[in-house]
Amino acid sequence: MPIAEGLFTWPGAAQLIGGSCLDCGTTTFPRQAACPRCTRTSVREVALASCGTLWSWTIQGFEPKAPYAADGSFAPYGVGYVELAALADGAAAVLVESRLTVADPEQLHIGDEVELVIVPFRHDSDGNELVTFAFRTVSRPA
């Protein structure tokens, strides 16, 4: 089960679901009811590219608080901002904060090409496996 509805398409080809303002072109993720730039409510749903560029990153070295905490088996993980194109005419690119699939600083570089993947997150109170999105490195800049 997806960790939350409306964040990404799954199963099948995974894509993040953003929003693009029809008035000013601002793109957001996740989709918002109103544009944070011009405050208008003419926001359409747009698919975001599944590949992008690692804009910045860090290693999360401590367990997050609830409800984001896992099952007590915490291990450090990578977190980054990924620049993604919006797949709609007139929609701007957007920076998406996301988990990364690696936590080794030697393997992460600003400018890396990354791709969207769906990864296990934890189990809910009914025992269902929850999945979330993350990005994995595809290539390093030359």
State the pLDDT confidence band at 64, using cuts at 50, 70 and 90: confident
In this prediction, residue 47 carries a pLDDT of 94
Question: Per-residue pLDDT tens for 67-119?
Answer: 666 666 788 999 999 999 988 887 889 999 999 999 999 999 999 999 999 99
Cα dihedral sign for 26, 59, 62, 50?
A: positive
In this prediction, residue 36 carries a pLDDT of 96
Higher pLDDT, 141 or 118: 118
Distance of alpha carbon 124 from alpha carbon 132, whole angstroms: 13
Percent of the chain whose pLDDT exceeds 70: 94
Residue 7 has pLDDT above 80, yes or no: yes
Distance of alpha carbon 20 from alpha carbon 30, whole angstroms: 10
Domain ranges of the chain: 17-139
Q: Cα–chain-centroid distance for residue 126?
A: 25
